[in-house]
A and B are shown apart, each in its own frame.
Chain A
Amino acid sequence: MSHHIIEAQDLYFVYPDGTKAINGISFKIIHGESVGIVGSNGAGKSTLIMQMNGFFLPTSGSLKIGATPVNEKTKVDIRRHVGLVFQNPDDQLFMPTVFDDIAFGPLNLGFSKEEVEKCVDESLKMVGCLELKDRPSHHLSLGQKRAVSIACILSMGPDILVMDEPSSFLDHRSRRDLINLLKKFTHTKIIVSHDLDLILEVCERCIILKDGKIQADGKAKDILSEENILKQNNLELPLTLQKNNILK
């Protein structure tokens, strides 16, 4: 059964305090697609991400990962197919050393010790940080922490990668490394970010959210170059597209 597809149908989510965060969203993301989700603060981006992992369950409507609807029973199973990279790597890396952190997921999935060793090495190699294996997590730089957080998720072999602000805290060089890394992955990717340039480079498709509703959904290149649509949603043209206007 393929878990690479995400399908939302008329999805609603209301927080316990009555805040309506998601107001009727429908979309379908297919195998291997990379989708950027953008929107101003409070548009419902993070809430949407939390739904994909079953931390928040839909108030009404449905969200399916592959053919499985996300609900109380399936959420544990779904979490191994949807790898969520948190915004703050300090929240994600909770074990004392990099090795322990990356091994955490695979060990919980019941891998044998040899498999775990192999898995850790492979995922660290993929993000180019093999030399960090035995370092304590809190001694790493933020760029390294980010790479290791991604490796932790890769080690579980997820079908879908979901990332919350992957470029936050990063300097230009680390951001560039991250973009190159993301371009290499063949997983279905969902990236939530304010970094529109990153989305423009990494994602083919882009969804704009505002007040918990989809305002635009289409090719990233088309949507992110439409100044009007962006302005209506409190966004601006990506910097790479702005440069020409300023120099005019």
Chain B
Amino acid sequence: MSFNQFEFFDLGYLDYLSYKDTFIHRIDPRAKLIVSLIFIITVISFPKYEISSLFIYFFFPIFLIAMADLPAKVIIKRIFIVSPFALMIGIFNPIIDRKVIITIYGLGITSGWISYFSIIIKFILTVSTGFILIATTSFPGICLALEKLKVPKVFVLQLMFIYRYIFVLGEEVVRTMRARELRSFGKKGYELSIAGNILGTLLLRTIDRSERIYQSMCSRGFTGNINLSKKINFTLTDLLYTLILSAMFIVLRFFSGSYAVGRMLLGKGS
């Protein structure tokens, strides 16, 4: 497998999307962050055999994708890329938990399968929300929101530097890999020793770079504290957005929305 540089540069695509200008993009980053967190917490808090109540929650990512004019394909593709994690986490549930709880046309469905399926739904919901948050909020915006929400500055700064230099480091990796590929004449060349050398070189370069960055910070008066000076306004729209969505998530947590919608569709009333 050769190193796919285009796949890597795709990383920056969500970042590009976050500089669009739609209703969702304009909402205060704090509001979006809080709503996403509440969404994730409520989704995770469902008991492990719950499936039907979760479906109604898909309205949130779909609503955001539609409102923020995001390409759904891109989000779905990314969910697939990280899915092995979730698939592996629950893989033993069907094997260990073999109690049959429902029988459909003679086919017994064990509780293991149900909990596995529930994990996957929760995974899709939470991960897509995370991606959408990144695609609708610029990263500096998220950092600013975290800082205003009193997250310790050390963490915020770490995130900020990661965001700033992940692209630089990535390009360096791409260049190094390209240089290796150009001189390995079709051989795989991924022997452990070479990979080790490349990693070592990258590490040394990173250390050198961090030293230069530190010098650059010092030459601009850095004394151990970084001030983020941006002002952001939390408007009425932001407040309504936060309150309405959060309330909706929490209400749906206790009253199954899927059930209500199902009854309505079947014309039974409630």
Contacts and interface: CB of A to CB of B under 8 A. Distances in A.
Interface in A76-99: 76, 79-80, 82-84, 86, 88, 90-97, 99
Contacts of B221: 76, 79-80, 105, 108-109, 156
A91 B216 contact: yes
B168 A136 contact: no
B229 A108 contact: no
Contacts, number: 81
Interface stretch (B22-30, B207-215, B250-258): B207-215
A115 B5 CA distance: 43
The dominant DSSP class at the A interface is helix
A113 interface: yes
A138 B168 contact: yes
B229 A53 contact: no
B164 A95 contact: yes
Interface in A56-82: 76, 79-80, 82
Chain B interface residue bracket vs A: 20 to 34
A100 B229 CA distance: 8
Contacts of A92: 216
A100 B141 CA distance: 12
Interface in A152-166: 152-153, 156
Contact of B227 (A82, A84, A108): A108
Contact of B220 (A50, A113, A152): A152
A93 B168 CA distance: 11
Contact of A108 (B163, B212, B222, B230): B222
A50 B15 CA distance: 36
Nearest to B224: A108
A99 B219 CA distance: 18
A94 B140 contact: no
Q: Nearest 7 A-B pairs (CB), nearest first?
A: A108-B221, A105-B220, A96-B140, A107-B227, A91-B212, A138-B167, A84-B219
Interface of B: 15, 138-140, 143, 160-161, 163-165, 167-168, 209, 212-213, 215-223, 225-231
Given A79-B221, A86-B216, A94-B161, 17 more contacts: A53-B215, A86-B212, A90-B168, A90-B209, A91-B212, A91-B216, A100-B228, A103-B229, A105-B221, A108-B221, A109-B221, A113-B229, A116-B229, A138-B164, A138-B167, A156-B220, A156-B221
